[in-house]
Amino acid sequence: MQERSSVGELVKQLRRELDRYSPGGKLPSSRALVERFRVSPVTVSRALAQLAAEGLVVTRPGAGAFRAQPRATAAPAGDTSWQELALSADGALDLVPRTVDASGVTVSLAAPQPGVIEFNGGYLHPSLQPERAMAAALSRAGRRPGAWGRPPLDGLQELREWFARSIGGPGGAVTAGVLITAGGQSALTTALRALAPPGAPVLVESPTYPGMLAIARASGLRPVPVPVDADGVKPALLADAFRATGARVFVCQPLFQNPTGAVLAPDRRAAVLRIAREAGAFVVEDDFVRRLVHEDAGPLPPPLAADDADGVVVHVGSLTKATSPSFRVSALAARGPVLERLRAIQVVDTFFVPRPLQEAAVELVGSPAWPRHLRALSAELKTRRDVMTTALRRDLPELALPHIPSGGYHLWLRLPDGADESALTAAALRAGVAITPGRPYFSAEPPAAHVRLSFAAVGGTAEITEGVRRLRTACDEVL
């Protein structure tokens, strides 16, 4: 019997026998299952991983497999059918219908079932987070005079100065143009609401971050794709898109672009700024992973905002990716009259970022632990990237890896022609590994099927190797 069919038969048999065990009850050991069903240890491991992915069992390293607790049954609901009419009655009045679709975001936010390897995560694994440094910073922050009072609406002066120095620009740091915001997603939402009215087109890289596409669509904007290659967005196509659409906003990630990992080439940086200026448009620069540079990267280019004297760039920088998903501190930076509109929307939406969190950010980035953390993170991300790249080339050569980034936390792979990325995503989950399909990264029809694999959300290099092995099983099933 082939390995794949053996796994399927064992899964069926174990599924039938689960009622023998109470919730939380321990299943027979892997050795016992090997002897009883006369299968290999690999078959047992894969069968348990599939049951874990289905939420039927929980695997605990060193302890074994246990029947999962039953999911709570929802109480009978009232009749909410009236909401369908209420939520759609005004749709005819919208120039561009607003669609609130969080699926492209939740795929990297939702924690997978126990036993499933997380290649779809968008944040650092706890082992990579500076937990002790953050805890110490928060403790010190809580003792600062006035730490629990109301902060300045623009944010703490110390924190704004720190972000301003990291951005740089003509004339040095311009603290007056920096607003502290509650994470990069909040900053992007404020920027798009400030710069484009409902119904307007907004130019976006293709592919690009699904969370930004969701913001645009929820605001009634119309994302228009501009293709990128290994050197970032293509200036000629960007100019064509501005002329064709009359757009006044272009959203880009010049450094380690999500998902391709591309860095905007030096000769294209000036071209992007010039093209936007000639179009009378803003460039929203999402500089989200500047602090996730790999150890082998050369000198990083400065933010686009550092080369902008005319107020073209609205810059978004964040601490979240390099710390923790709950450390939601970021900054918006801009020049000129647009700053007042950004400030007004920021205040209306959120009032201000909680002062204790801002104080903790000041303590963290000013401590000796911060540069130590960044150095250790840089080395570990390179190691993980190399382990994943090696495993993919060895075990999955049919998945094309056109670019290996020197920063960020993921790889972008093209599937063979005709491949079904949804089927592969589902098969991967059955095999015990969660991956991110490529479709949500495109605002229009994608040129090919892709998947994105994160190497930062897992526990270590052993999990990366095992995850690629499980992905091989999924590819054998559907490709």
Q: State the pLDDT at residue 9.
A: 85
Strand 57-60 to strand 64-67: parallel, antiparallel, or no bridges (unpaired)? antiparallel
The confidence score (pLDDT) of residue 1 equals 37
pLDDT of residue 334 exceeding 80: yes
Cβ contacts of residue 337 below 8 Å, gap of 6+?
none
Q: Where in the chain are all domains bearing CATH 1.10.10.10?
A: 3-67
H helices within 156-296, ranges in order? Answer: 157-167, 184-195, 210-218, 235-245, 266-278
pLDDT of 58 higher than 50: yes
Which bin fits 61, alpha (ψ -120 to 50), beta or left (φ > 0)? beta
pLDDT at 2 over 50: no
CB within 8 Å of 182: residues ≥ 6 apart? 328, 329, 330, 350, 353
Q: Which of 112-116, 313-317, 343-347 has the lowest mean pLDDT?
A: 112-116
One-letter amino acid identity for 216? A
> Which range, of 88-92, 252-256, 369-373, 433-437, averages the lowest pLDDT?
88-92
Look over the chain and give the mean of its residue pLDDT values, rounded to a whole number: 89
pLDDT bucket at 171, cuts 50 / 70 / 90: very low
Res 113: pLDDT: 81
In angstroms, the CA 179 to CA 210 distance is: 24
pTM score, two decimals?
Answer: 0.80
Report the pLDDT value the prediction gives residue 173, as an integer from 0 to 100.
Answer: 45
CA–CA distance from 435 to each of 275, 400, 454, 469 (Å)? 37, 16, 8, 13
In whole angstroms, what is the distance from residue 256 CA to residue 108 CA? 18
Where would I find the H helices in 89-156? 103-109, 131-142
Q: What is the pLDDT, as a whole number, of residue 176?
A: 63
The closest of 191, 171, 141 to 331, measured between CA atoms, is: 191
Residue 24: band (very low, low, confident or very high) from pLDDT cuts 50, 70, 90 = confident
Q: How far apart are CA 353 and CA 8, in angstroms?
A: 51
- For a pLDDT cut of 70, what percent of the chain falls above it? 91
What CATH code is assigned to 131-365? Answer: 3.40.640.10
Res. 295: pLDDT tops 90: yes
Q: Please state the rounded mean pLDDT for residues 403-409.
A: 95
> What architecture is domain 3-67?
Orthogonal Bundle (1.10)
Residue 172, pLDDT score: 46
Q: Are 385 and 411 in contact (CB under 8 A)?
A: yes
Please say if the pLDDT value at position 243 is more than 60: yes
pLDDT band at 87 (very low <50, low <70, confident <90, very high): low
Which tops the pLDDT comparison, 329 or 34?
329
Torsion of Cα atoms, 289 then 291 then 296 then 297, to 10°: 60
How high is the pLDDT of residue 55? 82
Q: What is the pLDDT of residue 102?
A: 72
**CATH 3.90.1150.10 segments of the chain:** 98-128+371-478
Backbone φ, ψ for residue 13 (5° rounding) = -65, -45
pLDDT-based confidence at residue 89 (cuts at 50, 70, 90) = low
What does CATH list as the number for 98-128+371-478?
3.90.1150.10
Residue type, position 46, single letter:
R
Given this model, what pLDDT does residue 86 score?
Answer: 61
Least confident of 54-63, 218-227, 262-271, 390-399: 54-63
The pLDDT-based confidence of 109 (bands split at 50, 70, 90) is confident
How large is the average pLDDT for residues 172-184?
Answer: 78
